[in-house]
């Protein structure tokens, strides 16, 4: 009896020991996007007259970023209402607009539809219908590219305006386009279900999402000619930010010797006349740093008001400046350079008032052995910047003194004694880059090295040479671009839609350039369109 019981216990233990532990896995992971089972009315319906569209799916779906992903073409005055906002097996679209007759509409959901569990996206689903008897079936394709920036922002709107007897260029500021699509998170676009005709094609970085061009904040690209559809052409739209046309805004007395004039657009060619009755008053015009404003400096005088005339190209504006009891601006100099001086930079001072004279005998620059170093000055009136130029050597410390009277401003004020020091590093702390360009189509050109934000860290200009030496660069990864300076003004110029001018061409080197300390790098750059 005991043997039988013992044998039974042994068998039971062996059975339990051999059993395998298991887990419920829930099956294989779903990797497939949701499928559309049915639509009502049917997709690609003609003679459409419904105010509601229902799309049914084979599983629960949710909408993600529908406000930015969903593109309705032609645009509707009132955005469709989409329900529900939670997970569901169907989506309802309620149209709030009166639809145009004999028009093909498309609702492109982009990547907004995904399944509720795994987030698998139904890519580029489109619901298309026509209020007429047929579906327009023509299409165009292309891509957009930011001209100046290395990377093109996503979600660029691409718009077609019908060119007919009512068309004019101002339409892009006031009205919806005939057709619209969006690049979503790429640079490519495809506009489908278009009818035959002539069109204006533009790209828009539409900050307000209102299908209107706002030059103050939107980037734009446009095809230079009217396009005729059907066409097999692949379109490239170069996007840029316009510089607003000059526009005077207001002028007011800021201090006893200064009027501040605010404006829109580029004011570098602005001229002013300041008068007290018939008397012309001497002025100096400078830029207010970081603002769309100018400083108009004049010597203090007794008057209740002054008359200011502002000229810029064909623009003229008259102001009456009422004067009050104000304090006089005083002369201050502030150093804007770091104590550790790069071999590519010169120490600089910014003045609070415009400088007019410099006494070189009252500038003293000594090295660490107390030996005098020859010093030159360069003054930028527009920016009120005084640059000190001298030959720098490595591992050297410099001591700079500006004695009283070294600089004098427009009002006869001179500086007090100013002392500062700065030093240089080893040559080996920097890297050198030689760039050799090939396939240059035209001169002059500008070669720029930039950071990832597009800030220019170094640049050179050439009217005939294709080899450029950038010495003493800080170790870093650099972006490089070449600008074709077609108008020969030594800067990059943007485009303008109304003037039908395209921006100057910019070509980026495809990779970042690694400049390391104590390295000499030579880079060949073949310019390709």
Element containing residue 83 per DSSP (H, E): strand 81-83
The Cα 301–Cα 340 span in angstroms is 44
Give percent of the chain above pLDDT 70. 94
The lowest-confidence range among 24-33, 226-235, 346-355, 408-417 is: 24-33
- Provide the token pair at 42: 């049917």
Confidence of residue 67 (pLDDT cuts 50, 70, 90): confident
For residue 147, the tally of other CB atoms under 10 A from its CB is 21
pLDDT tens readout for residues 475-519:
999 999 999 999 999 999 999 999 999 999 999 999 999 999 999
Mean pLDDT, residues 210-234: 95
The reply to whether 166 and 216 lie within a common domain is: yes
Q: Is residue 112 part of a domain?
A: yes
The reply to whether 202 and 261 lie within a common domain is: no
What sign results for the dihedral spanned by CA atoms 423, 425, 427, 431?
negative
The Cα 418–Cα 423 span in angstroms is 17
Q: Is residue 13 part of a domain?
A: no
Final residue belonging to a domain, choices 130, 149, 178: 130
Q: Inform me whether the pLDDT recorded for 217 exceeds 70.
A: yes
Task: Give me the CATH number covering residue 160.
Answer: 2.60.40.1120
What's 496's DSSP letter? B
Q: Is residue 8 part of a domain?
A: no
Cβ–Cβ < 8 Å for 111, 119 = no
Task: Give me the CATH number covering residue 307.
Answer: 2.60.40.10
The Cα 478–Cα 514 span in angstroms is 7
385-389, strands of its sheet edge to edge:
333-335, 348-351, 385-389, 376-380
Cβ–Cβ < 8 Å for 185, 165 = no
Q: Is residue 23 part of a domain?
A: no
The reply to whether 355 and 407 lie within a common domain is: yes
Q: Is residue 496 part of a domain?
A: yes
Calculate the average pLDDT of the chain: 91
Q: Inform me whether the pLDDT recorded for 412 exceeds 80.
A: yes
Tell me whether strands 88-94 and 52-63 are parallel, antiparallel or unpaired: antiparallel
Predicted local distance difference test score (pLDDT) of residue 11: 47
Mean pLDDT, residues 166-189: 92
Final residue belonging to a domain, choices 97, 130, 163: 130
The lowest-confidence range among 280-289, 329-338, 399-408, 499-508 is: 329-338
The reply to whether 205 and 277 lie within a common domain is: no
Exposure class string for 434-464: b at 16+ Cβ within 10 A, else e:
ebebeebeeebbbbbbbeeeeeeebbebbee
What's 383's DSSP letter? T
| Residues in Cβ contact with 279 at an 8 Å cutoff, skipping those fewer than 6 apart | none
Confidence of residue 3 (pLDDT cuts 50, 70, 90): very low
Q: Inform me whether the pLDDT recorded for 124 exceeds 90.
A: no
Backbone angles phi, psi at 17, to 5 degrees: -70, -30
The DSSP-derived string for 198-219 is EEEEEEEE-TTSSSS--TTT-E
Lookup result for tokens 């316009």: 242
pLDDT tens readout for residues 90-107:
999 999 989 999 999 999
Predicted local distance difference test score (pLDDT) of residue 18: 47
Final residue belonging to a domain, choices 208, 239, 270: 239
Task: Give me the CATH number covering residue 341.
Answer: 2.60.40.3780
Compute the C-alpha angle 236/121/158, nearest 5°.
25
Task: Give me the CATH number covering residue 60.
Answer: 2.60.40.1220
The reply to whether 145 and 235 lie within a common domain is: yes
Compute the C-alpha angle 462/467/470, nearest 5°.
90
pLDDT tens readout for residues 260-286:
999 998 888 899 999 999 999 999 999
The Cα 290–Cα 246 span in angstroms is 17
Q: Is residue 27 part of a domain?
A: no
Element containing residue 143 per DSSP (H, E): strand 138-146
- Provide the token pair at 474: 């800080």
Using DSSP, state whether 149 is helix, strand or coil: coil
What's 69's DSSP letter? H
Predicted local distance difference test score (pLDDT) of residue 16: 46
The reply to whether 411 and 488 lie within a common domain is: no
Domain count for the chain: 5
The reply to whether 436 and 522 lie within a common domain is: yes
Confidence of residue 69 (pLDDT cuts 50, 70, 90): confident
The reply to whether 458 and 522 lie within a common domain is: yes
Predicted local distance difference test score (pLDDT) of residue 329: 94
Query: What is the domain extent for residue 294?
Result: 247-322
The alpha-carbon radius of gyration of the chain (Å, integer) is: 34
Give percent of the chain above pLDDT 90. 79
Mean pLDDT, residues 223-252: 95
What sign results for the dihedral spanned by CA atoms 170, 176, 180, 181?
positive
Q: Is pLDDT larger for residue 76 or for residue 23?
A: 76
Conformational region of residue 278, where left means phi above 0, alpha means psi within -120 to 50, and beta covers everything else = alpha
Q: Is residue 479 part of a domain?
A: yes
Q: Is residue 89 part of a domain?
A: yes
The reply to whether 397 and 475 lie within a common domain is: no
Mean pLDDT, residues 182-195: 92
The reply to whether 115 and 195 lie within a common domain is: no
- Global pTM? 0.83
pLDDT tens readout for residues 340-399:
999 999 999 999 999 999 999 999 999 999 999 999 999 999 999 999 999 999 999 999
The reply to whether 349 and 292 lie within a common domain is: no
Q: Inform me whether the pLDDT recorded for 7 exceeds 80.
A: no
- CA diameter of the chain: 135
The reply to whether 158 and 125 lie within a common domain is: no
Predicted local distance difference test score (pLDDT) of residue 282: 96
């Amino acid at each position: 009896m005991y043997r039988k019981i013992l044998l039974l216990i042994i068998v039971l233990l062996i059975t339990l020991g051999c059993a395998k532990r298991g887990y419920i896995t829930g099956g294989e992971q779903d990797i497939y996007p949701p499928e559309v089972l049915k639509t009502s009315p049917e997709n690609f319906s003609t003679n459409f007259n419904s105010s509601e569209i229902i799309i049914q799916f084979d599983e629960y779906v949710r909408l993600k970023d529908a406000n930015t992903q969903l593109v309705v073409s032609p645009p509707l005055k009132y955005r469709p209402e989409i329900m529900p906002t939670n997970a569901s097996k169907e989506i309802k679209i309620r149209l709030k607009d009166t639809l145009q007759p004999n028009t093909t509409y498309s609702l492109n959901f982009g990547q907004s539809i995904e399944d509720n569990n795994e987030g698998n996206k139904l890519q580029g689903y489109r619901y298309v219908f026509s209020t007429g008897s047929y579906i327009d079936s023509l299409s165009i394709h292309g891509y957009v590219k930011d001209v100046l920036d290395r990377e093109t922002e996503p979600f660029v709107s691409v718009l077609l305006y019908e060119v007919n007897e009512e068309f004019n260029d101002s339409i892009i500021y006031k009205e919806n386009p005939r057709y619209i699509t969006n690049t979503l998170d790429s640079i490519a676009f495809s506009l489908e279900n278009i009818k035959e005709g002539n069109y204006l094609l533009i790209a828009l970085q539409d900050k307000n999402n209102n299908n209107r061009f706002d030059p103050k904040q939107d980037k734009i690209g446009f095809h230079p000619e009217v396009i005729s559809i059907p066409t097999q052409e692949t379109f490239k739209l170069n996007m840029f930010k316009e510089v607003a046309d000059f526009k005077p805004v207001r002028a007011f007395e800021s201090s006893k010797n200064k009027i501040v004039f605010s404006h829109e657009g580029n004011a570098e060619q602005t001229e002013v006349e300041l008068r007290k009755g018939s008397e012309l008053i001497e002025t100096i015009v400078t830029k207010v740093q970081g603002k769309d404003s100018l400083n108009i400096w004049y010597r203090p005088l007794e008057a209740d008001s002054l008359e200011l005339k502002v000229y810029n190209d064909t623009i003229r504006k008259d102001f009456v400046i009422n004067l009050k009891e104000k304090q006089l601006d005083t002369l201050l100099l502030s150093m804007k350079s770091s104590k550790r001086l790069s071999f590519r930079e010169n120490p600089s001072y910014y003045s609070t008032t415009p400088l007019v004279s410099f006494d070189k005998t009252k500038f003293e620059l000594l090295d660490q052995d107390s030996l005098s170093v020859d010093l030159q000055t360069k003054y930028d009136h527009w920016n009120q910047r005084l640059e000190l130029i001298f030959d720098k050597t490595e591992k050297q410390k410099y001591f700079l003194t500006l004695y009283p009277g070294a600089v004098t401003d427009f009002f006869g004020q001179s500086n007090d004694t100013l002392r500062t020091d700065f030093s240089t590093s080893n040559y080996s702390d920097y890297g050198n880059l030689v760039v050799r360009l090939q396939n240059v189509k035209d001169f002059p050109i500008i070669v720029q090295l930039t950071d990832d934000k597009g800030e220019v860290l170094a640049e050179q200009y050439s009217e005939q040479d294709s080899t450029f030496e950038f010495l003493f660069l800080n170790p870093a990864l650099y972006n490089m671009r070449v600008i074709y300076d077609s108008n020969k003004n030594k800067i990059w110029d943007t485009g303008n839609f109304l003037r039908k001018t395209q921006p100057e061409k910019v070509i980026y080197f495809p990779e970042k350039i690694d400049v390391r300390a104590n390295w000499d790098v030579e880079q060949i750059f073949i310019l390709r369109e």
